[in-house]
């Protein structure tokens, strides 16, 4: 009998062999690893396995149920397509980072305890930043550092929340949490990865600066693992539900204002994740199924959109909409794939986004949340507007100066398979319904009212684009987000370190230099205390000297003073040991 292993292990161990392979053999190997991982998923049985005891706790590396399986399936499938898209990449480091990133994401999905979840969570943050830094320019370096700083903050919140939760409940199992300090700290840690407003700024700041293949991976795993853990631990919270509505509208508004194609897509990640968060926040079987279904569909069409823009960048060297136009005649395959992805993310009938987006909106109506329902509908209109803008100005606007051609065949094949998946699930959603977390939930997406209502909504959005096209024309200005306040705060912190804290440090340094000098001098000649007191009195009278014993500031920092650090260190160590011994014997 074949015993399945945690899928994370396959990718993590698979990353170790990448540097040893070359040429076609390496390309075949890169595709074999996700294929083996998918076959492994088919052999996973519901329950827990790969359990290890650590410090009196059980670490569970393979917790299998319908929720973890559906997310695992889509992660491995899209991992295969993303690897296929990046086969031509020569740098082993990018492939290793991508494999570790996918593997750690799967580790989070199948983790049954908070210890192993946190470990994989941090590996995910560290490995993903290399997909940004491999762009190897100043912007990507700076964006990567801001990215990792935000994730360090989220990781610290998550760790403190986990410690408090374990201390109060005694359990490390990843299950639904009750409100309290630990609840809000863990929610903050998860919410940062899921792009809660205003913790979202790392995404539109960093993702556009990654490599064009790395951004395909980035668009999938970090935010969707956040959605998964929210479904596991925070389903059914009003705060989570309305935060999802805010994200959906907020992301659309900022996407409409963007000129950078990948920044536009980055803001739409926030918006689309908002639908997932809203469904999970509703908390009903339909809501959670809708949120997870939308995560699965979003992974397909959002990855396809990043593939299309990456292909345009790779072949034309353009990333701004103001620099594009007319690419449809040079890149017809990319153009068709992008249009399919745009219709999918907009929720057009016959495409996968139509199915899952309708489930989330219906779940909000089912529990009588009209404001949330309205927010999600408005976000749908804005989504169609912004993707009409992307497709028009990228592929159909007049630009006789641009020239390009289709990307390599592996990139075209990855885009074609992703586009086919969007259409297939859109026409035959039962294949997705059968693996969703809650069985027996009846939802019929192709009701006449739903289809006609959606078509009317999209036609209204299209008419608005035609009439107000001048208002959404790409512009060269930079649109500021909440990161403006973070950067201002960062500048304030740097100033505080450079001016008041540095001055305070200097004064402390002067004081302790003076003290050390006095101690050393008294150690050599205790009688010199009289000289020191006389010099101090002279200083107070004349006010012309800065230091005691007649030494100027330049003499205090002479080189010979710094040739005695060991003696001073021994003296301090003896004093500390004496204090510790005194405390020990007294207590």
Distance in angstroms (rounded) separating the CA atoms of residues 369 and 366: 8
Same domain, 416 and 561: no
What is the DSSP secondary structure assignment for residue 201, as one 8-state letter? T
Has residue 363 been placed in a domain? yes
Greatest mean pLDDT among 170-179, 216-225, 482-491, 497-506 lies in: 216-225
Number of domains comprising the chain: 2
What is the DSSP secondary structure assignment for residue 200, as one 8-state letter? T
Q: Which residues contact 205 (CB under 8 A, 6 or more apart)?
A: 143, 146, 147, 483
Same domain, 576 and 430: no
Distance in angstroms (rounded) separating the CA atoms of residues 143 and 138: 9
What string of DSSP letters covers 402-459? -------HHHHHHHHHHHHHHHHHHH-THHHHTTSSSTT----TT-HHHHHHHHHHHH
Same domain, 476 and 505: no
Mean pLDDT, to the nearest integer, of 270-297? Answer: 94
Same domain, 380 and 523: no
Has residue 168 been placed in a domain? yes
Q: Which residues contact 538 (CB under 8 A, 6 or more apart)?
A: 545
Domain boundary among 446, 481, 516: 481
**202 φψ region: left (φ > 0), alpha (ψ -120 to 50), beta (else):** alpha
Has residue 418 been placed in a domain? yes
What domain range is 355 assigned to?
137-481
Same domain, 284 and 378: yes
Q: Over the stretch 362-407, which tens digit does the pLDDT of each residue have?
A: 999 999 999 999 999 999 988 998 898 889 888 888 877 888 888 8
Please tell me the predicted confidence (pLDDT) of residue 243. Answer: 95
Q: Over the stretch 465-484, which tens digit does the pLDDT of each residue have?
A: 877 766 667 666 667 788 77
Has residue 365 been placed in a domain? yes
The structure tokens listed for 300 are: 């397909």
Same domain, 151 and 297: yes
Has residue 30 been placed in a domain? no
Has residue 36 been placed in a domain? no
Has residue 20 been placed in a domain? no
Distance in angstroms (rounded) separating the CA atoms of residues 312 and 319: 8
Q: Over the stretch 45-89, which tens digit does the pLDDT of each residue have?
A: 898 888 988 888 889 999 999 999 999 999 999 999 999 999 888
Same domain, 280 and 407: yes
Has residue 385 been placed in a domain? yes
Q: Is the pLDDT of residue 583 over 80?
A: no
- The mean pLDDT value of the chain amounts to 85
Q: Which residues contact 340 (CB under 8 A, 6 or more apart)?
A: 301, 304, 351, 419, 422, 423
Domain boundary among 434, 452, 481: 481
Same domain, 435 and 577: no
554 band by pLDDT with thresholds 50, 70 and 90 = very low
Same domain, 413 and 558: no
Share of the chain above pLDDT 70, in %: 87
The structure tokens listed for 470 are: 């001048």
Same domain, 392 and 506: no
Judge whether 336 and 111 are in contact, CB under 8 Å.
Answer: no
Same domain, 460 and 536: no
Share of the chain above pLDDT 90, in %: 50
Going from the C-alpha of 198 to that of each of 145, 160, 243, 484, the distances in angstroms are 19, 21, 10, 11
**Quick one: which of 151, 258, 144, 145 has its CA closest to 209?**
144
Same domain, 440 and 554: no
Model pTM above 0.85: no
Mean pLDDT, to the nearest integer, of 238-256? Answer: 93
């Amino acid at each position: 009998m074949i015993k399945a292993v945690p899928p994370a292990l396959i990718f993590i161990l698979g990353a170790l062999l990448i540097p040893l392979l070359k040429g076609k053999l390496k390309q075949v190997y890169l595709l074999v690893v996700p294929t083996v991982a998918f076959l492994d998923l088919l052999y996973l049985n519901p329950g827990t396995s790969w359990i290890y005891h650590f410090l009196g706790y059980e670490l569970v590396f393979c917790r299998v149920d319908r929720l973890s399986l559906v997310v695992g399936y889509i992660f491995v499938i899209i991992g295969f397509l993303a690897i296929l898209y990046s086969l031509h990449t020569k740098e082993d480091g990018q492939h290793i980072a991508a494999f570790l990133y996918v593997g750690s994401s799967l580790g989070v999905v199948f983790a049954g305890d908070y210890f192993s979840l946190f470990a994989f969570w941090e590996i995910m943050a560290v490995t993903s930043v290399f997909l940004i830094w491999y762009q190897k320019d100043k912007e990507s370096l700076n964006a990567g550092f801001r990215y990792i700083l935000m994730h360090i903050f989220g990781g610290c919140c998550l760790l403190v929340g986990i410690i408090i939760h374990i201390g109060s409940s005694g359990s490390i199992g990843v299950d639904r949490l009750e409100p309290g300090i630990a609840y809000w700290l863990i929610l903050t840690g998860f919410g940062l990865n899921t792009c809660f407003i205003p913790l979202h700024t790392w995404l539109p700041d960093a993702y556009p600066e990654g490599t064009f293949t790395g951004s395909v991976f980035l668009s999938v795993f970090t935010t969707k693992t956040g959605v998964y853990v929210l479904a596991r631990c925070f389903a059914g919270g009003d705060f989570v539900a309305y935060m999802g509505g805010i994200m959906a509208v907020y992301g659309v508004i900022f996407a409409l204002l963007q000129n950078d194609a990948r920044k536009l897509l980055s803001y739409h990640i926030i918006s689309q994740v908002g639908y997932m968060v809203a469904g999970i926040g509703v908390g009903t079987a339909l809501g959670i199924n809708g949120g997870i279904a939308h995560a699965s569909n979003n992974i397909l069409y959002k990855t396809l959109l990043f593939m299309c823009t990456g292909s345009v960048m790779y072949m034309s060297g353009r990333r701004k909409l103001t620099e594009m136009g007319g690419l449809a005649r040079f890149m017809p395959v990319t153009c068709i794939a992008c249009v399919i992805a745009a219709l999918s993310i907009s929720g057009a009938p016959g495409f996968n986004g139509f199915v899952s987006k309708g489930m989330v909106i219906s779940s909000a109506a089912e529990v009588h949340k009209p404001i949330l329902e309205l927010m999600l509908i408005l976000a749908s209109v804005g989504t169609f507007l912004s993707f009409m803008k992307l497709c028009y100005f990228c592929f159909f606007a007049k630009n006789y100066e641009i020239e390009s051609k289709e990307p390599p065949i592996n990139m075209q094949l990855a885009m074609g398979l992703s586009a086919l998946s969007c259409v297939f699930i859109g026409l035959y959603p039962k294949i997705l319904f059968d693996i969703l977390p809650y069985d027996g939930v009846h939802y019929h997406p192709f009701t006449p009212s739903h289809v006609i209502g959606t078509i009317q909504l999209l036609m209204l959005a299209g008419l608005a684009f035609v009439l107000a096209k001048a208002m959404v024309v790409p512009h060269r200005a930079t649109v500021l987000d909440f990161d403006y306040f973070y950067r201002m705060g960062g500048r304030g912190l740097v100033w505080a370190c450079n001016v008041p804290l540095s001055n305070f440090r200097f004064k402390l340094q002067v004081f302790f230099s003076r003290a050390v000098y006095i101690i050393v001098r008294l150690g050599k000649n205790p009688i010199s205390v009289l000289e020191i007191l006389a010099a101090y009195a002279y200083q107070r009278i004349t006010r012309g000297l800065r230091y005691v014993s007649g030494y100027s500031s330049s003499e205090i920092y002479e080189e010979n003073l710094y040739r005695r650090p060991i003696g001073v260190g021994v003296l301090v160590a003896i004093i500390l040991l004496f204090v510790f011994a005194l405390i020990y014997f007294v207590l």
